[in-house]
Chains A and B, each alone.
Chain A
Amino acid sequence: MVAETAKLNIDGLKLSYGSKQVIHGITFDIQPNEIFGVIGPAQSGKTSMLKVINRTIDFTADAHVEGTVKMEGQNVFHVKDVYEYRRRIGMVAPLPVGLPLTIYDNVAFAPRSFGMKDKDQLDELVQRCLEQAALWDEVKDRLDTLGTMLSGGQQQRLTIARALSHQPEVLCLDEFSIAIDPVTTMKIEDVLKELRNEMTIILVTNLVQQARRLADRTMFLLNGDLIEVDETEKIFSGNAQETKTNEFVSGAFG
């Protein structure tokens, strides 16, 4: 049974903001250690879906969620400690957000807030996260400069390092490459290929070719409806089950 081994089960997920429904009941699951690509044009509910998954949707006052999201079989809306739950999920936003702290503190901020005080332990963690995000070599001599002074591409990698700092099991990337150059994008893609050995990755992207390069399976969302989810090869083969999928990946619309 697929459902038993799945990392995340999303079942009949509906989401509305006030009276406007943005996700109309989608069901899928994500396997451990896979890169799960999510494609679809703007307004398909991709970002909202991520917000539901890490439960930051709680902060949106008029949001209403139906259906279930389970992580390893446990309903995430019933977890006791929501902060502990969010730490199991890393989130990278579309635009790099360097917190106005030093590079070191950017990465150490989350671990510190969960009570990690030991300096050596923190040093080691910061170095590991920055290495994993392919940023260490560029910043190791200036960890005490402001994170906001880095270039856009470096800040995005800093964001990834930050998302890794709480040692997540699932890493969600929300259109991480829209604000950075192709070279950095390729660097980060290499990073993701490494990271998949350690965690599950949800890759929301509006570059369909990126999903093609990286994802094991790809899901196509359109206006809050799940059109199709299948092996990436199948989705991009031109022989996907749904004609809309074929049209979208071949660039006919979207």
Chain B
Amino acid sequence: MIEAANNAKKFTETTVGRNCRFTEKIAKSVFFLMTLTMVLPLLLIVGFLFYKAWPALSIDFVLELPKNGMRAGGIWPAFLGTLYLVLISLVIAAPIGVMAAIYLNEYAKENWFTRIINLAVINLAGVPSIVHALFGLGAFVLAAGLGRSVLAASLTLAVMTLPVIIASTKEALSAVPMSFRQASWNMGVSRWQTIRGIVMPNSISGILTGIILQVSRAAGETAPIMFTGVVFYKAIEKGDLLAYGLLDQCMALAMHLYTISTQVPNVPDAVPFATAVLLLGVVLLVNALSIGLRIYLRTHRKW
């Protein structure tokens, strides 16, 4: 009888159990709300941008040159300029960053020298972009004699993104379990072959994600490029993909957006918004390329 009573007691609700479930509910809802606060503004911003930009958006807007002192026409020079800057800086920073990270994570021995390098990488990643801009102005524009040019601006962007690419690549590489490497070494496979055959395939998604994030940053930054190669207006051929030479000055979307919204009076409302939509579009385009590459690597892997 007593036992039966005890058993029944086990299944009745206690205060502790009730409190427990209550806090569980609260915790779950709070975390869910936090997720919403992240997603909702994003949707609102994108929606608002498109709504405001709608009257100006068209293929011609992308391909035309700005007219009437930026108040009409398109934004082709800025669009193309941003594409150039992002791609060139990426071509420079990504290989150097990835290779440096491979050295630091796979080969470097733990000593004062590598510790200093690691410290430098982390600190460089935290340097404000305007400081990079001044560095670029001094090093590339003046000292290296590149002048204010696409190349100087791209190099500056590359210097800015490099430390973050190194840090994120290192992170991705160190996430590959040590036991994979040991298994490979045990079979008499060399370090480089292990990196190529085992470590890289298993970290490539993480590496690419790190690089993608830096692409978005490079496309959106105004400070590093405004001193090093980007100008207010540059006339080029409409729709010409190869309009800029490496040593030409160029326009860029971020800078263009800044000038038409602050420096030029009486710009129709839709133009800055359409520019912003395109800036977003460029970022998404490069991201899509990287995602495509990731999928390609995953399905076509030969390892």
Question: A residues within 8 A CB of B183?
Answer: 93, 97, 99, 159, 162
A59 touches B187 (CB 8 A): no
A61 touches B180 (CB 8 A): no
- Indicate if A54 sits at the interface (CB-CB under 8 A): yes
A97 touches B180 (CB 8 A): yes
Q: A100-B201, A100-B202, A105-B303 are in contact. Are A86 and B188 (CB under 8 A)?
A: yes
Q: Which of A84, A91, A101, A105 contacts B186 (CB 8 A)?
A: A91
A95 touches B179 (CB 8 A): yes
- Indicate if B185 sits at the interface (CB-CB under 8 A): yes
> In the bound complex, how far is the Cα of B193 from the Cα of A13, in angstroms?
30
Question: B residues within 8 A CB of A83?
Answer: 188-190
A84 touches B184 (CB 8 A): no
- Indicate if A87 sits at the interface (CB-CB under 8 A): yes
Interface size of B by CB at 8 A reads 19
> In the bound complex, how far is the Cα of B193 from the Cα of A159, in angstroms?
19
> In the bound complex, how far is the Cα of B187 from the Cα of A173, in angstroms?
13
- If over half of B's interface residues share one DSSP class (helix, strand or loop), that class is named, otherwise mixed; here it is helix
Q: Which of A56, A61, A87, A100 contacts B182 (CB 8 A)?
A: A56
B189 touches A113 (CB 8 A): yes
Question: A residues within 8 A CB of B182?
Answer: 56, 59, 93, 97
Question: A residues within 8 A CB of B188?
Answer: 83-87, 110, 114, 166
Complex interface residues of chain A between 142 and 191 (CB less than 8 A to chain B): 159, 162-163, 165-166
A109 touches B110 (CB 8 A): no
Q: A61-B109, A100-B201, A113-B197 are in contact. Are A163 and B186 (CB under 8 A)?
A: yes
Question: B residues within 8 A CB of A110?
Answer: 184, 187-189
Quote the shortest CB–CB distance from A96 to chain B (angstroms): 10
> In the bound complex, how far is the Cα of B182 from the Cα of A87, in angstroms?
14
- A56 and chain B: residue at smallest CB distance: B185
Q: A61-B110, A99-B198 are in contact. Are A163 and B303 (CB under 8 A)?
A: no
A100 touches B189 (CB 8 A): no
Quote the shortest CB–CB distance from A6 to chain B (angstroms): 22
The 8 closest A-B pairs by CB, nearest first: A86-B188, A87-B188, A91-B186, A110-B187, A97-B183, A113-B193, A83-B188, A113-B189
26 inter-chain pairs at a CB distance below 8 angstroms, sorted by A residue, are A54-B186, A56-B182, A56-B186, A59-B185, A83-B188, A83-B189, A83-B190, A86-B185, A86-B188, A87-B187, A90-B186, A91-B187, A93-B183, A97-B183, A99-B180, A100-B198, A101-B303, A109-B184, A109-B187, A113-B187, A113-B189, A113-B197, A114-B188, A162-B183, A162-B187, A166-B188
